[in-house]
Structures are given as C-alpha cells and as structure tokens.
Structure 1
C-alpha cells in the first residue's frame, strides 16, 4: 500500500519506500544490508519515523549513529545490541544506522579522512556482521554512494537493495555541508543499484512461504521482478526473448491479481500501467490501450498526478504507433498539462518531445 502518513511522498520516493518496507518485512531473522540514499535530513528522519510506525507492532526498530572519530558500522550496531531493552525484545528487529552524512572526506594533517576510515571499516566488516541476523538500513548521502562501490566493494556486493529518496517540496530540506558534496555522477541511472533477479526471486519465495501468496508486499516485489525481465529484453541481454517476455508478463499479472485481492489501488494502477507499457513495446497496441485506460481511471480516482500523466503519455504512444496522430496529440497534451501542474519535469520533457513528433 502507498504510504498513508502525514508526509505525502512523490511517486519515485513512494515506490522506493514501498520497496524498502517489502525487503525489511521479507528479511525476518536474516542479515539483509539495505542502503537508503537521502541528502535531506528532514526527509530521512520523517521516512524513518513513518517506517517505524508502519512496522509496529510486529517489528521493533532501533536506531544508532556512526561515531565520527571511529565510524565503524559494526561498532554502531554494538551500541544497540547489548542494551537491556534489546535483549528483552522478542519481536522481529530492524536496525537504522545514520551519521554517515556527517563524515568529512577532507584529510586532517595527513591522517585518513573520516570517510576513508568509514569505507575501510565497511570493506572488512562483512564477516563481522554475520552475528546480526537482522535487516540493517544504512543511510548515506549521494556523495558517499558514489564512492561506496569503489572503496568498499566487498561490502557493496552484499547489499540487498539501494533505495533513493529525493527532496520533497513539502519539506524544508536540510542538506549536507557543501564541503561533503562532490559530483553529479549519482544522477546517472545505474542498474547496479537494483536488486538482482536472483535476490528478488529469493525474497518472493521467502515472503510467500512466511506470509502467504497474497501478502501485500508481493505486489511491489512482483512488479520489480517484472521490471528486471523487461529491462533484460529491452537491453538485449535476455537469454531467451520468448521465455523472458512471458516471465515479465507473468510477474505483472501476478502483481495485478494480488493488488486486487488485497485492495491495493495504487499497486493495481501501477501493475496495469506496467502491462500497458510492455504491450506497447510488443506492438500489441490495443492491449496497451486497454490497460493504460484502466490505470488512468485508478490514478484519477486516488489522485496520483504522476501516475495519471504517465498513463496519458503511454496512451499517446499507443495511438502514435497506430498512426492515429490526432488522438496521440490529445493525450500528450493532457499529460503535459498535468506534469506542469505537479512540477514533474522528467515526464514534462518527454511530453514535449512526444508532442514534437506528432506535428
């Protein structure tokens, strides 16, 4: 289900929030390293607060900060684990670790910087974390993320997922000091940040075994697995196009069935939209139109402007490929009007480009 709290998240953030929740709930009694990326401390703290509330009463959440002088993840966890409160807890446990945002990358008198120490500890901490059978959410900034895979590759290889959260207009952002921000490399899309096909299949299997085949988290997990198969097809790395096409469709239909069973309207709209997109790619334009019209109706109903704009855009694409340019132009214009209203620059730019193709 989408986040229903005092903070209304934009679609990208809400998708990542749902993915984070799904992996936390699917990682019971298992070491699961989850990396959450957020430059805005206000947004980060609000997400942690809402996440902890949503997981109650089944999951107990604990929070620790890295020490700036000795920024060891394992040491930060040890601040929590020996506590009497932790020992008495009989619930499934989640650990949130913050403090990385305060680590400097500038060296002092030739000594290693705080970030260099942090990456050094991470690189050699993997085996030491085995004694903690819990999901661990490590909160980092984009600047730290850029260097994480390069400077702590062993730790990076253990990640179960990376979740990006971008500043929200409804909050006053509190960003890291300028001397900790370097490049814009993190803005480039990187598929390595996604869960692997094998990880997703394992999480789905674990969730189905522990919580049943209609667990709400499966809506997000099946949609993500469908995305993995679809991306393999589009990028040309699919081992078998017919098999992976059927796998992608199966995953989207599974997500759709479960979303309807648990009455998750947002998940239903997202699943329908995914089906519309893949059918458009497969040149089955009438199917694409059918599913995008259904997703449009749901996003209108629940007031999701981003989803509505994307559905209009996808309908425009289907009619464009059918050669019905007037109808396509009408949908592109509706998409553009909504993206302007909600400030969605990415879809707005796509809508402008699409409109240019039908004039």
Structure 2
C-alpha cells in the first residue's frame, strides 16, 4: 500500500508540473484510474492546489448522445469564455469516458466507438483550445483509445496512472455496478481483436514509449486474443509479459497481478 501511495503521489506531482508547464497551449494529458472515488479525490486535490495559485479549473463530461471531445470542449468554451483569455492560466478536466457503453444496440457504432472515431479524426480541430486538457480514462478504455485512435494518442503530452489499494473499501451503487458489467462485456470486442494488430500496437508503443503503463494491459489483451485463436504457447508468453510489467509497475499485491495469475492458472499453461 505504501508503494502504491508513493507512486500515486509522484504521478500526481508529475501531472501538476505538466499542467503548469503548458498554460496557454494545447496539451493532452492522459490520466488512468479504475476507481471512480479515488479519481474524484485526485481531481479535487489538484484543482484545489491549482486554484490557490490562480488557475481557472473547469470540468466537462463527454455527452453520451454526442460522444465528441471537440464538441464538448466547444460547448464549454462558449459557456466559459475565460478559457480563451490570453494570460489567464486554465485547465480542463474531461470525465465521462467510462460511462460510454461499448454495446452497439441499434446504432452502427457504439458510444465508445464514436468517441474513438471522433478523437482520431478531429485532432487538428483541437488546436484552437489553448489550455492543458486532462482526460480521465480507465485502463481498458486507455488501451482501446491507443489502438483505435493512434494519431490522437500520439499527441499525448504524458500518461499518468493511479491505482488504489484493494484494502480500501469501495461502495458502488447498483446502477454503477450494472454499468460496470456492461462496459466489461463490451471489452470482448477488443479481446477478439487480431493478435497481429495488437502486436503491431505493442511494437509501436515500445519504440515510442518503452516505459508506458499501457504495455501491460496490451500484453494482457494480446494473450486473450491468442487464447481465442487457440494459440496457447503465444498466450502464455503474453500473459507472463503482462504479469512481469504489472508486478514491476504496481507491486505483487495489486488486483491486476492477481487477475493475470488467475488467467495462467485457470488456463493451465
């Protein structure tokens, strides 16, 4: 727990420094956390510190009906013109990506797919926003975003991962629990991805950012894809790569480590 807390504090300081170093210009900062309550505590912490230093802090939520980052930022700027004021430090925190379902229902694309598509093809349209943007994602959505919107992902100014100890009780409402189950079911779309495409994504990420916290999640997705293709030797290798990365990044007692060990045991490699 002490290791997790120390790493979280370092990442929070890194995030604050990145925000303060990019006032007056666009900077896409990716924050990753799979615990909503802890995420909100972190946001409150950095907003309190930045506000005390004269920074204008704003939050915006991705619209489920129109899941476009560019559109939600345009709507926010129209309501808060101070964001475009020269010389006034400002930051925008983007929430709601974890509420976008991956289930298509009666639509050609799911809300998640629409968000990824919009991010990939509207990157240039974000240049007008002269302020740092912190986009909060879950590990799964971060992995999917890097796969489906690689051009947008390449613009990131930093990735900051936060994890909460499993010893801390988390109370989910029934609605949140149901939504979580729907999102987890939606991740099957990515599990069924082509292993070749996933390996290319891993290779690209290794060449650009060999210390990326997303590599472990990508290796886990690659292993799942190999299992679906009945390529068990390759799956075992990918699971063990994910396990090694998770242990080094998060510690041996993190729930992600337990999940990988369970996968290895359950599939009897």
- TM-score under structure 1 length normalisation: 0.48
**Are the equivalent residues in 1 in contact too, given 2:29–2:133 (CA < 8 A)?**
yes
Q: Work out which of the residue numbers 138, 143, 148 in structure 2 matches 1:151.
A: 148
CA gap of 1:15–1:195, structure 2 versus 1, over 3 A, is farther
* 1:157-208, Cα deviation, whole Å (9 max, x unpaired): 10011111112444626576122124899xxx999499969xxxxxxxxxxx
- The 1:47–1:195 alpha-carbon spacing in structure 2 relative to 1, beyond 3 Å, is farther
| Unaligned segments of structure 1, at least 5 residues | 1-8, 198-226, 229-342, 350-359
1:85-105 Cα shifts (integer Å, max 9, x gaps): 636966201010000010011
Q: Please point out which of 37, 40, 43 is paired with 2:32.
A: 37
Give, in angstroms, the shift of residue 64 of structure 1: 0.3
| Distance across 2 between alignment mates of 1:52 and 1:344 | 32
Structure with the greater alpha carbon radius of gyration: 1
Aligned counterpart for 1:65 among listed residues 61, 66, 70: 61
Partner of 2:98: 101
Structure 2 CA distance for partners of 1:47 and 1:194, relative to 1, 3 Å: farther
Deviations 1:102-126 (A, max 9, x none): 0011111252100000001000121
Structural mapping, 1:8-157, within 5 Å? 10-56=5-51, 57-84=53-80, 86=82, 91-157=88-154
Q: Residues 99 and 154 (structure 1 numbering): CA distance in 2 closer, same or farther, change over 3 Å? A: same
* CA RMSD of superposed structures (Å): 3.3
Matches within 5 A, 1:160-239: 160-168=157-165, 169-170=167-168, 172=170, 174=172, 177-181=180-184, 182=187, 192=205
Change over 3 Å in CA distance of 1:145–1:80 after alignment to 2: same
- Asked if 1 retains the 8 angstrom alpha-carbon contact of 2:24 and 2:131, the reply is yes
Q: In 2, distance between residues paired with 1:153 and 1:87?
A: 27
Q: Which has the higher contact order (CA 8 A, sep 6+)?
A: 2
Please name the residue that 1:282 is paired with.
Answer: none
d(CA) in 2 for partners of 1:22 and 1:142? 22
Please list the CA deviations of residues 209-234 of structure 1 after superposition, one character each: whole Å capped at 9, or x if unmatched: xxxxxxxxxxxxxxxxxx99xxxxxx
Number of matched pairs: 194
SS in 1 for 2:127: helix
